[in-house]
Structure formats: C-alpha cells, structure tokens
C-alpha cells in the first residue's frame, strides 16, 4: 500500500496508483525472496499479485472517498470485537 499511497500523494490517477501499488508489492516480495535465496513466490504461487492488486485497489478507493492515511485501518479492531 505504500506504493499506492505515494502515487496518490503525487496526484497520480486511481488506476495508476493501483498499478504502482501492485508493482511495488510484487517487486518488494521478489527482492525479499532473492535476498534470502529462495525461488520468488510470484513464480510459484498462483495467488500473489491478485491480493496485492486488491489491496492497492482498496487503499485507492478509501483514499478517493476521503479516508487518507490509517483511518480505514483504525476502524478494523472495533469491527472485530
């Protein structure tokens, strides 16, 4: 979500922010796997980029509705209890 957040802060469009968020999530995971000498998860798992895409889209939607920062995530513990 950091990539999508940064893209939206730089006045990118919603779709561009979703794309940037997905690419940074998948790229970060790939770099992590390479640094620990594992086969990148994106190459072995069918569901890797899709959750990153959904997370970036959710963040971009929340941002466009006026929930900037951590506001959508601070409500989660209240809904769980």
- What's the mean pLDDT in 10-33? 93
Summarize the confidence of residues 26-31 as an average pLDDT.
93
Q: Are 77 and 46 in contact (CB under 8 A)?
A: no
Question: Average of pLDDT values for 15-34?
Answer: 94
pLDDT(80) > 50:
no
What is the pTM assigned to this prediction?
A: 0.75
**Long-range CB contact pairs, 71-78, < 8 A, 24+:** none
Instruction: Assess contact for 29 and 48: CB atoms under 8 A.
Output: yes
Q: Give the pLDDT mean for 26-52.
A: 90
Mean of pLDDT over the chain: 83
The proportion of the chain whose per-residue pLDDT surpasses 90, expressed as a percent, equals 44
């Amino acid at each position: 979500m950091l990539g999508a957040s940064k893209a939206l802060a730089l006045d990118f469009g919603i779709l561009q922010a979703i794309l940037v968020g997905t690419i940074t999530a998948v790229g970060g995971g790939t770099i992590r796997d390479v640094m620990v000498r594992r086969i990148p998860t994106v190459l072995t798992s069918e569901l890797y980029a899709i959750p990153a895409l959904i997370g970036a889209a959710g963040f971009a939607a929340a941002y466009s509705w006026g929930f900037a920062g951590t506001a959508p995530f601070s409500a989660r513990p209240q809904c769980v209890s």
